[in-house]
Amino acid sequence: MTLIALHADVLVTMDEQRREIADGALVAEGAAIQWAGPTDQLPQQYRALMETGQAQVLNMRGKVVIPGLVNTHHHMYQSLTRAVPAAQDVELFDWLGNLYMLWSHLTPQMVHASTQTAMAELMLSGCTTSSDHLYLFPNGSRLDDSIAAAQQMGMRFHAARGSMSLGRSKGGLPPDQVVEDEAFILRDSLRLIQQYHDSSRHSMLRVVLAPCSPFSVTRELMHQSALLARAHGVSLHTHLAENENDVAFSREKFGLTPAQYAESLGWVGRDVWHAHCVKLDAEGIALFARTGTGVAHCPCSNMRLASGIAPVRHMCDAGVPVGLGVDGSASNDGAHMLGEVRQAMLLQRVGHGPAAMSARQALEIATLGGARVLNRDDIGAIATGMSADFVAFDMNQIAYAGAGHDPVAALVFCTPTQVHTSVINGRVVIADGQLLTADLEQVLGTHRTLASQLFKAAYQS
């Protein structure tokens, strides 16, 4: 089926010329974009399809259309544990310490339901591709539970098989109850790659290997995961240099900075991305730039946990691939992807002055930047041959009143809104602001019930 979107007030392409097309149009056939340009230049063959009713037509008048936003870091199961009182006002290590036992009561159904909720929230906020880093698997939970949810929601998904193996008794941070055996982790990782990983262009599902962090796995697991990932051409992901305590742990345990530690394990390259890197030093930035190692910048989470201001301006100037992540919902209790773009822009300004990041630079990080971080060249832009992932925001909302002279910047400067339309892989998944792939009320009802079950299980045991 051919899909034609017409008359966008502005079509933001993020193509090589970074064209912003007034009265823009695009054509998608199946999963791929065939053409983008001004509506009055729509090629005749597509006009003919419209006239004979052989194309699905979206009228985008009054809308700004942008490439679907790419979320490079999340823990979707945490949607069940937002605003937990014991984890509201503490830094990373205490925050984790106060949540691990709660999370140890997760069930497969909870993983599935929270992934659906998190994806609905992301999709409504402009995101079309997301990674998710699931790193604990209590009570029979598996990565398969979140993969099934992604397939139901119709979201492009990079499912990161997280892991923790270094329990408290061995000098790690997590309690022993939530860690797994390393041989099992590697076996399960291989199973998931073989069962699900699709490396093809326009792939809707890729598997990623993602030991959780230097303080929750061993060196050996980091090393073995890298070997396994490279043998199968899948990406690697973990947390790195999140705050001062994280850096202190690395220096104390390994005698290395986080960047040196990553390099010593082979955890650099275009197939690797690290979340946070708030405390990545100049040497680390140079290393990441040289090797094409990516960073998932999570501004809300970094503010929420008072981790600091990641040196994103310096990273971008040096050529480090940087994408955005909302991070898990227990450290950013609002997973609004366009909102995250806004916070990224604002936070760099707090750290480095008003010219540190423009609205368009922030949007570019959230689209092309995210694509690069996920090691993809088929998403992040609206151009011929790219995946048909785009979203439209209705500019006739109160949030954008008075900002009509620069609607593209308005998307980032003004209060973030929800999308009017979302198309993922050529399929309309949101129309008129309504999610079409799931019954949102039902998803939220199930989620509410399970969140309260989780709390009861944790606090009554």
Nearer Cβ to Zn ion, position 180 or 327?
Answer: 327
Nearer Cβ to Zn ion, position 11 or 275?
Answer: 275
Closest CA to 81 of 63, 98, 64, 59: 98
- Taking a C-beta distance cutoff of 8 angstroms, is the pair 297, 312 a contact? yes
CB of 174 to Zn ion, least distance (A): 14
CB of 133 to Zn ion, least distance (A): 6
**Which residues of this chain interact with Zn ion, rule CB under 5 A?**
275, 327
Nearer Cβ to Zn ion, position 149 or 240?
Answer: 240
Residue 253 CA to residue 417 CA, distance in Å, equals: 44
CB of 67 to Zn ion, least distance (A): 24
Nearer Cβ to Zn ion, position 315 or 423?
Answer: 315
Residue 423 CA to residue 411 CA, distance in Å, equals: 18
For the chain, the farthest-separated pair of C-alpha atoms sits apart, in whole angstroms, at 70
Nearer Cβ to Zn ion, position 271 or 327?
Answer: 327
CB of 213 to Zn ion, least distance (A): 8
CB of 260 to Zn ion, least distance (A): 21
Nearer Cβ to Zn ion, position 25 or 178?
Answer: 178
CB of 212 to Zn ion, least distance (A): 8
Nearer Cβ to Zn ion, position 275 or 316?
Answer: 275
Residue 395 CA to residue 100 CA, distance in Å, equals: 42
What are the structure tokens assigned to 76, written together? 């979707």
CB of 346 to Zn ion, least distance (A): 21
Nearer Cβ to Zn ion, position 275 or 363?
Answer: 275
Closest CA to 122 of 144, 146, 140, 87: 146
Nearer Cβ to Zn ion, position 21 or 296?
Answer: 296
- Taking a C-beta distance cutoff of 8 angstroms, is the pair 143, 159 a contact? yes
- Report the first-to-last Cα separation within the chain, whole angstroms: 54
